[in-house]
Amino acid sequence: MAKEKKLRSTEWFGRQDKDGFAHRSWMKNQGLPSHLFDGRPVIGICNTWSELTPCNAHLRGIAEKVKRGVYEMGGFPVEFPVTSLGETLMRPTAMLFRNLASMDVEESIRANPIDGVVLLVGCDKTTPSLMMGAASCDLPTLVVSGGPMLNGRFRNERVGSGTHVWKFDAMVKAGELTKEEFMETEACMSRSVGHCMTMGTASTMACMVEALGMGMPGNAAIPAADSRRQVLAHMAGRRIVDMVKEDLIPSKILTKDAFENAIRANGAIGGSTNAVIHLLAIAGRLGVDHSLDDWDQMGRDVPCLVNLMPSGDYLMEDFYYAGGLPVVLKKLGESGLLHKDALTVNGETMWDNVKNADGHDPEVIYDMDAPFKQEGGIVVLRGNLAPDGAIIKPSAASPELMQHTGRAVVFEDIEDYKERVDSDDLEIDASCIMVLKNCGPKGYPGMAEVGNMALPAKILKQGVTDMVRISDARMSGTAYGTVVLHAAPEAAIGGPLALVQTGDEISLDVAARSLVLHVSEAVLAERRKNWKPVHPQSTRGYVQMYQQTVMQADKGADLDFLQGGSGAPVPRDSH
């Protein structure tokens, strides 16, 4: 008979010496009875609850439900907090701290008597930061997303998180909405617990959790306020105890096949561009062979099936009622676009989990042969303007701009953009291409979501709603437009984007996967000689470390020394 693996928690709680005394005694001040220290699996519940992360503010309640499940199966649950990254409040951008939070998660798990871990996530960066940290430890891990908010509603119309902020803002600028009406919509948009309910980054990453096999079936779409979200958390608590017994660790689930499933799922849901950078970073922690080009190759044949904002009309609550992600994965499987044998946290294969899924609303989840949008995946563009790649999400772009040549109007950084964009003196028309520099990982530490820069007021007043925009920045998953992002190498380290000048001609050709700056090599070489970085580097603390070690967008923008993992050996005891 196979010998059961010794639980790492017994190194703390199983000892009969003074160290074991110390480990147990202080825990007992919480009213914990002795039998909890009898060698049963200790399950960490890694919680990103915070009142400063409103999307995750209900996660204490979710943790309680996970605990119920853990207790039922004879485990010992211990909830602990980690750095929580709130998208809406943190400055300069929550993404600056994704890697820092991942270090917190990794070291918190490794340093403590934990045998398996449930990650409670929700708001955009909380999902990748916890998955990255846990992947580097490689203990049995199950992800529970907090769930999306209920549909927003204003004057009987659906209002989508984020997406309608851009829309309403543009309407105010165009004189179609008063400031008072704009203020009224705030409460209409966010009317329950949960994260953004558009197919923004949070919903996308919740879908990625499910498509990667790291969450329970149904993880992505159940609204946060729906009691079935609590049932899912309860069942996750039950399951993680068995995962520990089975030694079902992330490296057995997060294989190359799993990432390919996720890429295709992202195409089919019209998911956020941010998924690219996060999945590259998670794969980097596990040493999985996963590159930017996989996104183009794997996503190429995937149509967008899901009619959700920002690309479409509906919201996550509708997606849940329509059957949610299992329906989408089933359709991919039936079309040969799913690795059916990929293992998932419940011990079943991906196909076993989704093969019986039923779709209930063809307006929300379309069929493969008559999709919502023909091109669903992320397109990777290359050319002399982005030799290491840039990306665009065709499902959120304007079809008539997918092949476009225009005159560049350049903004040197985000401050320059803010200062001049609405000026009457700005020489720009709708055929121009807006270029924003110095917003990449190092240039605007954290790579802010400013790539979908708002159009100049005078263009909006003409009724124009989209123009080609190019930058080394990211874009909010709730945003839309013909926006080229993540240009690498970035301007701040002298990438070609740094050399573009107003008046240059640029061609974007999405079908040809190309992004070309029509300036001769000789002229570019001359400009390169005169190029100097525009922003000083930070000289202390985490930001200095970040700027010195962050990798480019095409590598996932992780810190170079965090790639890979160290597993979870039991650290030495210093008592």
- Report the residue from 161, 261, 266, 395 that binds ligand FES according to the rule CB under 6 A: 161
Give the interface segment with ligand FES, choosing from 74-82, 195-203, 383-391, 426-434 (CB under 6 A): 195-203
- Determine phi and psi for 142, rounding to 5 degrees: -130, 130
381 is a contact residue toward ligand FES (CB under 6 A)? no
202 is a contact residue toward ligand FES (CB under 6 A)? yes
Report the nearest approach of ligand FES to the CB of residue 122 (Å). Answer: 6
55 is a contact residue toward ligand FES (CB under 6 A)? yes
Q: How far is CA 182 from CA 6, 150, 160, 457, 481, in A?
A: 59, 20, 14, 17, 22
Quick note: the x/- pattern for ligand FES over 123-142, rule CB under 6 A, is xx------------------
195 is a contact residue toward ligand FES (CB under 6 A)? yes
Q: Which is nearer to ligand FES, 93 or 346 (CB)?
A: 93
Helices (H), 309-424: 316-321, 325-334, 350-354, 414-420
- Alpha carbon of residue 231 to chain centroid: 24
Q: Which helix (H) or strand (E) holds 506?
A: strand 505-509
Report the nearest approach of ligand FES to the CB of residue 163 (Å). Answer: 11
* Long-range contacts of residues 523-528, Cβ cutoff 8 Å, at least 24 apart: 524/384, 524/496, 524/499, 527/499, 527/501, 528/494, 528/499
* Long-range contacts of residues 564-567, Cβ cutoff 8 Å, at least 24 apart: 564/136, 564/284, 564/285, 564/287, 565/106, 565/135, 565/136, 565/137, 565/138, 565/285, 565/286, 566/110, 566/136, 566/137, 567/137, 567/138
Q: Which helix (H) or strand (E) holds 483?
A: strand 483-484
Q: Which is nearer to ligand FES, 200 or 394 (CB)?
A: 200
Show the tokens assigned to 527: 């400009």
Q: How many residues bind ligand FES (CB under 6 A)?
A: 10
- Report the residue from 71, 88, 384, 466 that binds ligand FES according to the rule CB under 6 A: 88
Q: Which is nearer to ligand FES, 87 or 472 (CB)?
A: 87
Residue type, 226: D
98 is a contact residue toward ligand FES (CB under 6 A)? no
Q: Which helix (H) or strand (E) holds 275?
A: helix 274-286
Report the nearest approach of ligand FES to the CB of residue 198 (Å). Answer: 8
Residues 105-124 that bind ligand FES (CB under 6 A): 123-124
Q: Which helix (H) or strand (E) holds 530?
A: none
Report the nearest approach of ligand FES to the CB of residue 293 (Å). Answer: 29
200 is a contact residue toward ligand FES (CB under 6 A)? yes
Spatial separation of the C-alpha atoms in residues 228 and 194, rounded to whole Å: 14
Q: Report the candidate in 177, 148, 155 with the shortest Cα–Cα distance to residue 165.
A: 177
CB atoms within 10 A of CB 114: 26
Give the interface segment with ligand FES, choosing from 174-182, 192-200, 266-274, 539-547 (CB under 6 A): 192-200
192 is a contact residue toward ligand FES (CB under 6 A)? no
Q: Which is nearer to ligand FES, 136 or 478 (CB)?
A: 478
Q: Which helix (H) or strand (E) holds 101?
A: helix 98-111
Q: Which is nearer to ligand FES, 446 or 489 (CB)?
A: 446
Report the nearest approach of ligand FES to the CB of residue 261 (Å). Answer: 23
164 is a contact residue toward ligand FES (CB under 6 A)? no
Give the interface segment with ligand FES, choosing from 134-142, 193-201, 315-323, 404-412 (CB under 6 A): 193-201
Report the nearest approach of ligand FES to the CB of residue 479 (Å). Answer: 11
Q: Which helix (H) or strand (E) holds 340?
A: none
- Determine phi and psi for 44, rounding to 5 degrees: -75, 135
Report the nearest approach of ligand FES to the CB of residue 461 (Å). Answer: 29
Quick check: 142 and 118 in contact, CB under 8 A? yes
Q: Which is nearer to ligand FES, 55 or 450 (CB)?
A: 55
Q: Which is nearer to ligand FES, 13 or 49 (CB)?
A: 49
Q: How far is CA 282 from CA 286, 296, 382, 441, 519, in A?
A: 7, 18, 24, 17, 37
Peptide bond into 489 cis (omega under 30): yes
- Report the residue from 79, 87, 104, 294 that binds ligand FES according to the rule CB under 6 A: 87
Report the nearest approach of ligand FES to the CB of residue 56 (Å). Answer: 8
- Report the residue from 120, 134, 165, 196 that binds ligand FES according to the rule CB under 6 A: 196
Task: State the residues that interact with ligand FES by CB under 6 A.
Answer: 55, 87-88, 123-124, 161, 195-196, 200, 202
